[in-house]
Chain A
């Protein structure tokens, strides 16, 4: 409470500019307000909660005059508790048939799905929906698990159904209420007095962890996720100091203390499989490091798992900068894990935008800390995420290949690049949305369109949402470029969005893509194409892109926005020779 008040004072009472979280709940969620403010600030993405009238869902969403609709939120949480909306269910389940109980639960999940649909109709904010949990039991039969028709099992089935139905919805996600209750523990969760007196969400001591989970879910949906985890080696990935103890002397394995580090490696491997890149920044001898990575029998992580390995004696912040540059990602998308507080402090001082993980002094608590880092929270995985870590390994092979050539053109030709392209459809929209949300550097306008907006544009006559996919002899790069065209008038179209993944930079892909976009504009009847560059802190690299592509600058020196135009009839754009084109995937 005090922290929340202080926070509010610091912001001068105004929550303006903060993302607003609309809460529609079947209980007095208002008690969570100060906790949500504090916890969301702690994890670096403060949200301002707004609470709908108690236990009103459809009414609020349907009422055009409600605050929910008058000033639409940036994110929505629908929190219906089983015990509130169907209080007799547990009692009835003891006499009703399995089918009847299932039907009652189906009605409830159907209501939640319909509610999601209703919210989605009016706004494009991400939606969180609590799953169902038997937290408040009046018949806690100790042998209930013997009964295959027990309510608890049917609730699990209902949650499964809810998850699979919501997967069809854009930007709609389960808030894992069951996990929140489990995390706190049933015994701590319930405070009968507060429940009877005020329909409180949970016991007072659970409100902070509960709100933290909610804040993490919100942040994961509202901000870009971290991309790369940079780890130290000695006493972070194994116990001991490689330089002093030797390859045989470091400890990792199934016994204490090596088992701590083996699990940490396991956790990092899991993060890699979820699409995060791994990299090493260690003050060590490169030869010894290579030996451990190649030969140590207990290592779960191998050289191939790392997109970049820097073992040297330079300050770590230098290594972090180098890693970001090598991988073409922003320094602010790095997470740094190091057991040494001095190294952490040095990185913090020199690169404040890096997320430095504060590890506790006890190594046996490292894992808990690492697996709960909010920067690693991400909603559904896309196949590109899973493959990303592999793509960077291909990239390394590509760079080695590059060194054999003298002329860039020769090198580019030898890559045997093939581009496919098309317009946004149901198969590509999620990836397009992801790129729109997270691309910072090669992004001309940095317009963060929400998923629904992209869908609307892709269906509109006055717009085209285009993509390009690239393959080369080393592997599939996936969908790497997104362009959105919008009609200004009969002859003039505008490039609303033009962005590209940095991993294909310097390969003339932007030339190929703009020429495809120009074709699309012509196809729509345009004769002129207008394009703008909106400078941000991160996109300097594309400041001169349009002139390079043949656009004429409008010589607007108002520094905030630079406008360019291209006469499509007079200056056709040439598709680069080094990329072969096929519209095989054209939709």
Chain B
């Protein structure tokens, strides 16, 4: 477990933590594949909570169009990478 954590990039572990907090998941259950189909609490309300949390954490601005893409951990990381985080 610790090895996997160590292997994760800083960006990934921050996103994992935020996803855990926003959707109420234990952090060890969060994976790259965690997405809105498998997480019951990943609804439109929490999507906005996720957006706010990401903006605060990374000091970026997420456009509404981008917000609608925040549907899995993988996609979140992709959006952030595009912003050169």
* Residue positions of A touching B, CB distance < 8 A: 1-2, 5, 28, 30-31, 193-194, 196-198, 200, 204
Instruction: Determine the distance from Cα of A566 to Cα of B24 in the docked complex, in whole angstroms.
Output: 58
Contacting pair A30 B52 (CB below 8 A): no
* Chain A residues with CB under 8 A of B48: 28, 31, 194, 197-198, 200
Instruction: Determine the distance from Cα of A198 to Cα of B55 in the docked complex, in whole angstroms.
Output: 16
Instruction: Determine the distance from Cα of A109 to Cα of B22 in the docked complex, in whole angstroms.
Output: 37
A2-B21, A5-B24, A31-B48 known; A193+B56 contact, CB < 8 A: no
* Chain A residues with CB under 8 A of B52: 194, 204
- Closest 10 A/B residue pairs (Cβ): A204-B52, A198-B48, A2-B21, A197-B64, A1-B21, A30-B45, A5-B24, A1-B22, A193-B64, A5-B21
Which residue of the partner chain A has the closest CB to B61? A193
B49 touches A (CB below 8 Å): yes
Instruction: Determine the distance from Cα of A181 to Cα of B17 in the docked complex, in whole angstroms.
Output: 32
The distance from the CB of B47 to the nearest CB of chain A, in whole angstroms, is 9
* Chain A residues with CB under 8 A of B85: none
Which residue of the partner chain A has the closest CB to B53? A1
* Residue positions of B touching A, CB distance < 8 A: 21-22, 24, 44-45, 48-49, 52-53, 55-56, 61, 63-64, 67
Instruction: Determine the distance from Cα of A193 to Cα of B45 in the docked complex, in whole angstroms.
Output: 14
Instruction: Determine the distance from Cα of A204 to Cα of B64 in the docked complex, in whole angstroms.
Output: 15
A193-B64, A197-B64 known; A31+B24 contact, CB < 8 A: no
The distance from the CB of A455 to the nearest CB of chain B, in whole angstroms, is 39
Instruction: Determine the distance from Cα of A197 to Cα of B63 in the docked complex, in whole angstroms.
Output: 10
Which residue of the partner chain B has the closest CB to A193? B64
* Chain B residues with CB under 8 A of A31: 45, 48-49
Contacting pair B45 A28 (CB below 8 A): yes
Contacting pair A196 B64 (CB below 8 A): yes
* Chain A residues with CB under 8 A of B61: 193
Instruction: Determine the distance from Cα of A200 to Cα of B44 in the docked complex, in whole angstroms.
Output: 12
Listed A/B pairs (6) with beta-carbon separation below 8 Å:
A1-B22, A1-B53, A2-B21, A194-B52, A197-B48, A198-B45
The distance from the CB of B51 to the nearest CB of chain A, in whole angstroms, is 8
Which residue of the partner chain B has the closest CB to A199? B48
The distance from the CB of B58 to the nearest CB of chain A, in whole angstroms, is 14
Which residue of the partner chain A has the closest CB to B63? A193
Contacting pair B45 A204 (CB below 8 A): no
Instruction: Determine the distance from Cα of A193 to Cα of B61 in the docked complex, in whole angstroms.
Output: 10
The distance from the CB of A84 to the nearest CB of chain B, in whole angstroms, is 17
A1-B49, A5-B21, A28-B45 known; A204+B67 contact, CB < 8 A: no
Which residue of the partner chain B has the closest CB to A1? B21
Beyond contacts A1-B53, A194-B52, A197-B48: 15 other A-B pairs, Cβ-Cβ < 8 A, are A1-B21, A1-B22, A1-B49, A2-B21, A5-B21, A28-B45, A31-B45, A193-B61, A194-B48, A196-B64, A198-B44, A198-B45, A198-B48, A204-B52, A204-B55
* Chain A residues with CB under 8 A of B64: 193, 196-197
Which of A1, A2, A31 counts the most chain B CB atoms within 10 A?
A1
Which of B21, B44, B49, B52 counts the most chain A CB atoms within 10 A?
B52
Contacting pair B56 A204 (CB below 8 A): yes
* Chain B residues with CB under 8 A of A194: 48, 52
* Chain A residues with CB under 8 A of B55: 204
Instruction: Determine the distance from Cα of A31 to Cα of B24 in the docked complex, in whole angstroms.
Output: 15
Which residue of the partner chain A has the closest CB to B47? A198
* Chain A residues with CB under 8 A of B21: 1-2, 5
Which residue of the partner chain B has the closest CB to A5? B24
Instruction: Determine the distance from Cα of A100 to Cα of B17 in the docked complex, in whole angstroms.
Output: 54
The distance from the CB of A333 to the nearest CB of chain B, in whole angstroms, is 38
Contacting pair A197 B67 (CB below 8 A): yes
The distance from the CB of A484 to the nearest CB of chain B, in whole angstroms, is 45
* Chain B residues with CB under 8 A of A204: 52, 55-56
* Chain A residues with CB under 8 A of B24: 5
Instruction: Determine the distance from Cα of A196 to Cα of B64 in the docked complex, in whole angstroms.
Output: 9
* Chain A residues with CB under 8 A of B22: 1
Instruction: Determine the distance from Cα of A297 to Cα of B64 in the docked complex, in whole angstroms.
Output: 62
Instruction: Determine the distance from Cα of A524 to Cα of B29 in the docked complex, in whole angstroms.
Output: 68
* Chain B residues with CB under 8 A of A197: 48, 64, 67
Instruction: Determine the distance from Cα of A275 to Cα of B47 in the docked complex, in whole angstroms.
Output: 47
Instruction: Determine the distance from Cα of A2 to Cα of B20 in the docked complex, in whole angstroms.
Output: 9
* Chain B residues with CB under 8 A of A196: 64
The distance from the CB of B74 to the nearest CB of chain A, in whole angstroms, is 21
Which residue of the partner chain A has the closest CB to B18? A1
Instruction: Determine the distance from Cα of A193 to Cα of B52 in the docked complex, in whole angstroms.
Output: 11
Instruction: Determine the distance from Cα of A1 to Cα of B44 in the docked complex, in whole angstroms.
Output: 16
The distance from the CB of A256 to the nearest CB of chain B, in whole angstroms, is 38
Instruction: Determine the distance from Cα of A2 to Cα of B19 in the docked complex, in whole angstroms.
Output: 11
The distance from the CB of A184 to the nearest CB of chain B, in whole angstroms, is 16
* Chain A residues with CB under 8 A of B56: 204
* Chain A residues with CB under 8 A of B44: 198
Instruction: Determine the distance from Cα of A2 to Cα of B22 in the docked complex, in whole angstroms.
Output: 7
Instruction: Determine the distance from Cα of A28 to Cα of B52 in the docked complex, in whole angstroms.
Output: 14
The distance from the CB of A191 to the nearest CB of chain B, in whole angstroms, is 9
Instruction: Determine the distance from Cα of A197 to Cα of B53 in the docked complex, in whole angstroms.
Output: 16
Which residue of the partner chain B has the closest CB to A204? B52
The distance from the CB of B40 to the nearest CB of chain A, in whole angstroms, is 15
* Chain B residues with CB under 8 A of A198: 44-45, 48
* Chain A residues with CB under 8 A of B67: 197
The distance from the CB of A189 to the nearest CB of chain B, in whole angstroms, is 15
Instruction: Determine the distance from Cα of A30 to Cα of B44 in the docked complex, in whole angstroms.
Output: 11
Instruction: Determine the distance from Cα of A197 to Cα of B44 in the docked complex, in whole angstroms.
Output: 10
The distance from the CB of B62 to the nearest CB of chain A, in whole angstroms, is 8
Which residue of the partner chain B has the closest CB to A51? B45
The distance from the CB of A461 to the nearest CB of chain B, in whole angstroms, is 50
The distance from the CB of B24 to the nearest CB of chain A, in whole angstroms, is 6
* Chain B residues with CB under 8 A of A30: 45
Instruction: Determine the distance from Cα of A196 to Cα of B61 in the docked complex, in whole angstroms.
Output: 15
* Chain B residues with CB under 8 A of A2: 21
* Chain A residues with CB under 8 A of B53: 1
* Chain A residues with CB under 8 A of B45: 28, 30-31, 198
